[in-house]
Structure 1
Amino acid sequence: MSSSSCSSSANNHHHSSADEPSPNLPLREIPGSYGKPFFGALKDRLDYFYNQGQDEFFNTRIQKYNSTVFRTNMPPGPFIASNPKVVAVLDAVSFPILFDTSKVEKKNVLDGTFIPSTAFTGGYRPCAYLDPSEPSHAALKGFVLSVLSSFHNKFIPSFRLCLSEFFTNLEDELADKGKADFNTLSDKMSFEFVFRLFCDRSPSETSIGSNGPKFTDLWLFFQLAPLISLGLKFLPNFIEDLMLHTFPLPFFVVKSNYKKLYDAFYTSAGSILDQAERVGIKRDEACHNLVFLAGFNAYGGMKTLFPALIKWVGTAGESLHRRLSNEIRTVVKEEGGVTLSAMNKMTLTKSVVYEALRIEPPVPYQYGKAKEDVVVHSHDSTFKIKKGEMIFGYQPLATKDPMVFSNPEEFVGDRFVGDGEKLIKYVYWSNARETDDPRVENKQCPAKDLVVLLSRLMLVELFLQYDTFTLEVGKLLLGSSVTITSFTKAT
């Protein structure tokens, strides 16, 4: 490791106040308003999607109220959502109230102020929509955690197999067309990996064939449309707003696609479904949960995760690439292969993954409903939130809190190396602190450690094969589009 890797940890100023707010902070009325019924929510929705865009929507309000805690409406607003009113918590100190299930209820808040029809999930509310206090939550989350732990020996070999085919396909397309579409090939690879993991066979050996990503994308889009803007230049905003944000999209359009996905899992994941039945979960409920876990949580998460990781590493440039390839190749050589213990020794690689999760968390929002009157602290004030109020956190602002991270808008690859490791607990992407562990009684992402592992593996495989690469970046519905423009083979 070069000495430069320690350089940035020194300038990571760290405020202990972010953990223990001083007890004598002033109690402040929560600023902000919801505007007139219906019209206030509509105005906020138009600001959020069209007039300002997400980050500006929140930043202008933080400045206006001189507060990172305030009242606002969150889309989709009138029509679809029963109640768009939220209290926004947008800094590293107030945000973790959303993880405390003794104080906030997590029932039906996965997508915020609205919930898609259960028709999309076989008539069941999947585990992600359940609060830990609901009886089936423990059974379903316990089942997911045990399935994942039974796979722990499969993750590395299985993902490396998918990655090697993935990089071959990227190179072929690059040679063929002069550039390669990272997202499409990454989606294909992610779906292949997830399906193989749960079903022990390739989706191409089932009736889904190569349509897995397409079927899943449509199914996701129809559920999440009220939270999305297409950004199409030729479509006037008011028409898009009417189409996407006014009425939920109907399930019947994607019904046959969903049935194909469901049938493929039902026939291929027999041993997992047997396991579910043994712990008292109905077979069809277990299968709908499995499709949700594989399609929405895993594939849906990777759809934004991998392009974001490669975007930030790619734009960081050649000096970071050199340091990564140096660390990865040295450790793999010393350890005699790509193993878990090898990856745990790659401090820079680990830091780069945490930094990507910090600067662009794959899930930008968290919600929870106050179970009782609660008091939240920001850096400089205290606020009282009333029982029954919806609390909303926009994660990218909490993880770019300038009171915790220096140069928060900048991608600093070695931010979490050495002394910087202390800051890992402020990386909140998984519905908890990064230093916490998913358990049956919390709402942390059950595959949190797997996500970190797969991200590291992607960098390991990339820099074992290539010294550096270049790319172009654009915007997509969810996340970034990445086009690879060159690879320099490892010498």
Structure 2
Amino acid sequence: MSTSKNEEEYKSGALPLRAVPGGYGVPFFGPIRDRLDFFYNQGQYRYFYSRAAKHNSTVFRTNMIPGPLCSDSHIVAACDAKSFAVVFDPSKVDKKNVLIGNLFPSVGFNGGHRILAYLDPSEPKHAQNKQVLFNIIAARKSALIPAFFSVYSSLFDKLEAQLASSKKSNFNKLNEFSAFDYVNQAMYGRSPSESTLKAALKWVLLQFHPITTIGLPKLIEDPLLHLFLYPPFVARSTYRTLTDFFSDVGASALDDAESLGLSRDEALHSLVFSTVINAYLGVRAYLNRLLKWVVSAGPELHDRLAREIRSVVKADGGKVTLSGLERMELTKSVVYEAFRIDPPVQVQYGRAKLDFELESHDAKYSVKEGELICGFQPMATRDPKVFERPEEFVPDRFVGEEGEKLLKYVVWSNGPETEATSVANKMCAGKDVGVLVGRLMMVVVFTRYDKLEGEVGTTPEDVNVNITGLTKSEVNVVEESAL
């Protein structure tokens, strides 16, 4: 098991006050150069790591995508565990309209409303909108486990059929619809159509194109996606498909929203965004990453997971229960480790409410009111002053008392894993469901298979998982009727 020295050991007297190193380059051209580095020449990992190395500092100034025509690109990057934590501190930063930094797509993409994701917790409608999500999760609690088994058992049936016919099956491609199906079954008890998913993906691309790539040649893609914001009318018919669907399946949630004081229209648009972007894209991204790391870890880990999971399920009479999942120590640790090393959302933002001193492990830096702070999470959660072997996937890192102490540095949900999500903070409303989904994926896989073989992406940005071999379990420990 990996352990860590307590952060207090790194506090040895007063920290020196330094000017934030780095800069923004020549106006207009500097941001373009940095954008090309971020998307094409380096990728986001090398982009942040190389600049930290250049300035010998985990806090530095640089440009953030898309810039310079879509938005102001200037940021202060915070890339260690200590400095990164400031983006969760409501006394120092404001979260209003900073979901994706300086970029704020037209509210026309969301029915003319500033929906939940763009609200600071201090704004009254934040609590109302977030409470709607909490109420959905509470009402659908009993559906979370059986819906997952239904959807992902079907996915692995398809994966096995593809593997039998073509010797290879791409998990990510199958998961594109399965994750959407699960989120909607779990939240609303209804399965969406493929056409609804296509509408959702098109709507996402049309409003968030400045921060995406789609695989076209650089000289074509960069001016097409990253130079200007698309007007919302280009998504009008696509978005209507989504609002029609969610006004139907989410009718009871919208009734609840009205009882909380929200207009039905505003609640609908916030529900579309939360379901598609926060829930669906989050679940899809995380499960792809989780499987990538588990497949690459190899048969020894697979054997340990299979033995632990089957033992607990068998002891519970073939039932998969929340209490049983809590007893799966290694499984829990693997899920947290995947969140640590490869979080589904990799940048977090906050705008300084006042002048203050931002602290890293080594120094303090003056930040001025109004400056945008960008935390790059993979560097913060691979901080060598917190984690031993930080760049390695260590399956049992969070097992035991010492391992549990490290959970406060797992911050995938927009806050420490040891804290609770509430209407008063910006932590993911589905934080606990996200952890549950990871554990359930491990249970589905390792009650069904002894091991998986596959080809996975070789760069940090590549989360592609091709399954090339499966060893099926001869023991069925799960009672379908008992889920």
User: Which category describes the TM-score, using the shorter chain as reference length?
Assistant: over 0.9
Query: Do residues 91 (structure 1) and 80 (structure 2) align?
Result: yes
Aligned-pair CA distance for 1:478: 7.4
Equivalent residue letter for 1:105: D
Q: Secondary structure at the match of 2:454?
A: strand
Equivalent residue letter for 2:332: K
Could you tell me the TM-score, scaled by structure 1's length? Answer: 0.93
Deviation track 1:2-48 (CA, whole Å, cap 9, x = no partner) reads xxxxxx23xx2323337x74451111111111122222222221222
Select 1:238's aligned residue among 205, 216, 219: 219
CA distance in 1, matches of 2:130, 2:12: 36
Query: Do residues 376 (structure 1) and 358 (structure 2) align?
Result: yes
State the partner residue of 1:198.
187
Query: Do residues 424 (structure 1) and 415 (structure 2) align?
Result: no
Q: How does 1:202-241 map to 2 (within 5 A)?
A: 202-203=191-192, 209-232=193-216, 235=217, 237-241=218-222
CA distance in 2, matches of 1:357, 1:110: 20
Query: Do residues 313 (structure 1) and 294 (structure 2) align?
Result: yes
Q: 1:475 to 1:195 in 2, by over 3 A?
A: farther
The more displaced of 366-375 and 159-168 is 159-168
Q: Secondary structure at the match of 1:189?
A: helix
State the partner residue of 1:392.
374
Equivalent residue letter for 2:357: V
State the partner residue of 1:17.
8
State the partner residue of 1:127.
116
CA distance in 2, matches of 1:23, 1:141: 41
Q: Secondary structure at the match of 1:414?
A: coil
Deviation track 1:434-459 (CA, whole Å, cap 9, x = no partner) reads 11111111100110110000110010
Aligned-pair CA distance for 1:479: 5.3
The more displaced of 181-190 and 346-355 is 181-190
Q: 1:70 to 1:478 in 2, by over 3 A?
A: closer
Number of aligned residue pairs: give it.
Answer: 472
Equivalent residue letter for 2:44: Q
Aligned-pair CA distance for 1:335: 2.0
Q: Is the 8 Å Cα contact of residues 196 and 241 (structure 2) preserved in structure 1?
A: no
Equivalent residue letter for 1:92: A
Query: Do residues 31 (structure 1) and 21 (structure 2) align?
Result: yes
State the partner residue of 2:481.
none
Structure 2, gaps ≥5 residues long: 475-483
Q: Is the 8 Å Cα contact of residues 199 and 265 (structure 1) preserved in structure 2?
A: no
Select 2:437's aligned residue among 436, 448, 454: 454
Q: Secondary structure at the match of 1:93?
A: helix
State the partner residue of 1:115.
104
Q: 1:257 to 1:192 in 2, by over 3 A?
A: same
CA distance in 1, matches of 2:132, 2:410: 26
CA distance in 1, matches of 2:188, 2:405: 39
State the partner residue of 1:467.
450
State the partner residue of 1:150.
139
Query: Do residues 365 (structure 1) and 354 (structure 2) align?
Result: no
Q: Is the 8 Å Cα contact of residues 17 and 379 (structure 1) preserved in structure 2?
A: no
Equivalent residue letter for 1:119: G
The more displaced of 153-162 and 453-462 is 153-162
CA distance in 2, matches of 1:114, 1:127: 16
Q: Is the 8 Å Cα contact of residues 427 and 433 (structure 1) preserved in structure 2?
A: yes
Q: Is the 8 Å Cα contact of residues 127 and 141 (structure 1) preserved in structure 2?
A: yes
State the partner residue of 1:279.
260
Among the aligned pairs, what percent are the same residue?
A: 49
Query: Do residues 299 (structure 1) and 289 (structure 2) align?
Result: no
Q: Is the 8 Å Cα contact of residues 143 and 276 (structure 1) preserved in structure 2?
A: yes
CA distance in 1, matches of 2:415, 2:238: 33
Q: Is the 8 Å Cα contact of residues 425 and 434 (structure 1) preserved in structure 2?
A: yes
Aligned-pair CA distance for 1:93: 0.6
Aligned-pair CA distance for 1:92: 0.5
The more displaced of 430-439 and 477-486 is 477-486
Q: Secondary structure at the match of 2:383?
A: coil
Q: 1:476 to 1:401 in 2, by over 3 A?
A: closer
Could you tell me the TM-score, scaled by structure 2's length? Answer: 0.94
Q: Is the 8 Å Cα contact of residues 306 and 446 (structure 2) preserved in structure 1?
A: yes
The more displaced of 321-330 and 20-29 is 20-29
Q: Secondary structure at the match of 2:425?
A: coil
The more displaced of 401-410 and 48-57 is 48-57
CA distance in 1, matches of 2:364, 2:191: 53
Equivalent residue letter for 2:330: L
State the partner residue of 1:5.
none
The more displaced of 168-177 and 420-429 is 168-177
CA distance in 2, matches of 1:449, 1:159: 15
Q: Secondary structure at the match of 1:101?
A: coil
Q: Secondary structure at the match of 1:158?
A: helix
Equivalent residue letter for 2:385: M
Deviation track 1:61-104 (CA, whole Å, cap 9, x = no partner) reads 112211100111111111101x2111111000110000011210
Query: Do residues 69 (structure 1) and 59 (structure 2) align?
Result: yes
State the partner residue of 1:290.
271
Q: 1:258 to 1:476 in 2, by over 3 A?
A: farther
State the partner residue of 1:206.
none
Q: Is the 8 Å Cα contact of residues 187 and 302 (structure 1) preserved in structure 2?
A: no
State the partner residue of 1:179.
168
The more displaced of 146-155 and 441-450 is 146-155
RMSD: 1.7
State the partner residue of 1:169.
158
The more displaced of 192-201 and 89-98 is 192-201
CA distance in 2, matches of 1:251, 1:181: 33
Q: Secondary structure at the match of 1:480?
A: coil
